Structure 1
Amino acid sequence: MTLEVHLDEQDLARTLRADVRAGLTATPKWLPPKWFYDARGSELFEQITELPEYYPTRSEREILTDRAGEIARLTRARTLLELGSGYSTKTRLLLDALTAEGTLRTFVPMDVSPSALTAAAARIEADYPGLRVHNIVGDLTRHLKHLPGGGNRLVAFLGGTIGNLIPEERSAFLGDLRAVLEPGEHLLLGTDLVKSPSVVVPAYDDAEGVTADFNRNVLRVLNTSLGANFDEDGFAHVALWDPDQEWVEMRLRARWPMKVTIPGVDLVVDFEAGEEIRTEVSAKFRREGIGHELAEAGFALDHWWTDRAGLFGVSLARAVG
């Protein structure tokens, strides 16, 4: 097993400080969703994926269960690279199919969390003897240039995570990814689809309150990492559908006026009652929009699959020209 680190603790700390200073001095306030994911946040997200309201994971798993063999035959990938891999749970469907196809030699998961990477990689090495596992600790918006070359590569970016990027960020990300791929190599992209808000919003505001706890975890991260004194109970979890942007926004809304001190960035932040921090955008997509964004970045959308309920889409695109 190889561990390649492009994002160490000092780099993470610098990035966190920069994001907190920029986001909490902006109007309106915001924080990037990547700061949900300390060990506790990762555990909470795993719980979210099992909730009855949270359809994306089940829907994408259904597609991969049905289509993994076809994906393996179409790509005949020697190297599978997974971006934002986390615990690589659904990826095993692809690993199984590519192993059965007889082409797979290397698995390259990239994530910001070294602990999630190494835990998943140890299990995968044990379950897939002979498979080379090359872990990369990195940020998918900054470190794609470090993805290893060689072999016919398939990049998997699953879970609808691309929806956490606003359009300008998606364009930059897809362009950066195309720049590191050779013509003919593939991108497997998971995208949550536009549907009724009555289905979408509960996926981000479950009855058990797990998503609310996950949302407030960003405050715990700031308290632990930067010495902040956020009162977690002072912020209500909010999930709203924006019909113009066709995305869900998660926010934290101050229940009463507060003054929060954040010594790690030498900052004092005032909140009025009702003031919000936007913590996540989760864009939903249509097939024609995905095809356009991929084409703009230099990909051809060759195959498109949905689950039987039409809630989620997985596209297989090929780097061209």
Structure 2
Amino acid sequence: MTPPQTVSPTTHDRVIVESFLGDGEHRTLADDVLDGLTRPFKELPPKHFYDAHGADLFDRICELPEYYPTRCERAILEQRSAEIVERTGAAELVELGSGTAAKTRLLLSAMHEAGTLNRYVPIDVTEGMVRDSAARLVEEFDGLRVHGIVGDFERHLGRVPEPVDGRPRIVAFLGGTIGNFTPGSRRRFLRGLSQLLGPDDFLLLGTDLVKDPAVLEAAYDDSAGVTAAFNRNVLTVLNRELDADFAVDAYEHVAFFDRDREWIEMRLRAQRPQRVTVGKLGLRLTFAAGEELRTEISAKFTPERISGDLAAAGMELVETLTDQDGLFALTLARIRAA
């Protein structure tokens, strides 16, 4: 493996960015294609949506009238960040999948106002995004230190630095991303997250709640077709990165709520028979007319499911905060007392 690289992206001595994406890490897409597209039921993990164009499309999705999760989560943070900081006494914020830190800034601001803010630890696969947000935040918040981790939060949790001087911290996993895991994988991942928590630390978990299926399905199949373009963009990623020849427009966007599993599924459906070559892998694939490729699950939660998942990971629910319409929840949890 290529050794981790420490980069100082600004002139500030309060910023460190470490990259753990060596050459071997870039085989993730190839491995996922070899694993997921050679199964009888084809699927890919949703993390491959987010190249630069995919990230832009997702930003557009977040502004759509049908897509409520981002607005609702932000509203909770706008109204309750000061309360969260008072409850936790946190001096440090660790954020998985930090992106541009747009919503997180509300928590950092509340910590700054409370006089506790010490360090922010963003984790994201896009180094440019980690660099840019670090540079902005240290300018915005006097005394803030940033220790950025460029890596995959499923594989690089062990790279998160120890808390500064043992002071309390919040580990934030926002956006409802926990719903992309199947139940068993979700509980294993939460157990891994619990290893980042000391007795005075808290997990802040964003979860989309079970609701009217019509509301859920509209959020993932908007009338403007932005989510459809976002979904099909994963095929463009495969064409570019792995020298594949998917006919992108020959696949139809499908989104539906599975009432038994209580999750949304996004799929791509071949509208006619397809023969696909993935050049860099020497792989040949066929799709029958109507055959589907699953690109995402997004589990929706009840209070009982949240509490059960936390308990299985050795944590206990401390408080649940919701928006005024009860569409989305932020959950505070901590290590279960012995």
- TM-score interval for Structure 1 and Structure 2 normalised by the shorter chain: over 0.9
CA–CA distance in structure 2, aligned partners of residues 98 and 51 of structure 1: 30
CA–CA distance in structure 2, aligned partners of residues 24 and 284 of structure 1: 26
1:159 is matched with 175
**% identity of equivalent residues:** 53
CA–CA distance in structure 1, aligned partners of residues 298 and 326 of structure 2: 18
Provide the aligned C-alpha RMSD in A.
1.0
Q: Does 1:5 align with 2:25?
A: no
Cα-to-partner distance string for 1:124-169 (whole Å, 9 max, x where unaligned): 2221132111110111211111111123111011110100111111
Q: Does 1:97 align with 2:116?
A: no
Q: Does 1:72 align with 2:85?
A: yes
CA–CA distance in structure 2, aligned partners of residues 221 and 119 of structure 1: 24
CA–CA distance in structure 1, aligned partners of residues 182 and 247 of structure 2: 29
Q: Does 1:15 align with 2:28?
A: yes
TM-superposed CA distance for 1:115, in Å, is 2.1
TM-superposed CA distance for 1:11, in Å, is 3.2
Aligned length: 320
1:251 is matched with 267
- Letter matched to residue 89 of structure 2: R
Partner of 1:180, secondary structure, is: coil
- Letter matched to residue 295 of structure 1: A
Q: Does 1:116 align with 2:132?
A: no
1:107 is matched with 120
TM-superposed CA distance for 1:119, in Å, is 2.1
CA–CA distance in structure 2, aligned partners of residues 58 and 146 of structure 1: 31
Contact 2:124 2:130 in 1 (8 A): yes
Structure 2 gap ranges (5+): 1-14
CA–CA distance in structure 1, aligned partners of residues 128 and 295 of structure 2: 23
TM-score between both structures, scaled by the size of structure 1: 0.97
CA–CA distance in structure 2, aligned partners of residues 262 and 80 of structure 1: 41
CA–CA distance in structure 2, aligned partners of residues 117 and 193 of structure 1: 29
2:290 is matched with 274
Cα-to-partner distance string for 1:99-125 (whole Å, 9 max, x where unaligned): 111111000010112122222222222
Q: Does 1:261 align with 2:261?
A: no
Written as runs of structure 1 = structure 2, the 5 A alignment for 1:1-321 is 1-8=15-22, 10-150=23-163, 151-320=167-336, 321=338
- Letter matched to residue 189 of structure 1: L
CA–CA distance in structure 2, aligned partners of residues 4 and 313 of structure 1: 32
- Letter matched to residue 28 of structure 1: F
CA–CA distance in structure 1, aligned partners of residues 244 and 312 of structure 2: 42
- Letter matched to residue 104 of structure 1: L
CA–CA distance in structure 2, aligned partners of residues 6 and 153 of structure 1: 23
Partner of 1:108, secondary structure, is: strand
CA–CA distance in structure 1, aligned partners of residues 222 and 62 of structure 2: 11
Greater CA drift, 131-140 or 113-122 = 113-122
Greater CA drift, 139-148 or 62-71 = 139-148
CA–CA distance in structure 1, aligned partners of residues 160 and 235 of structure 2: 32
- Letter matched to residue 266 of structure 1: G
After TM superposition, the runs of 4+ consecutive aligned structure 1 residues lying more than 3 A away are none
TM-score between both structures, scaled by the size of structure 2: 0.93
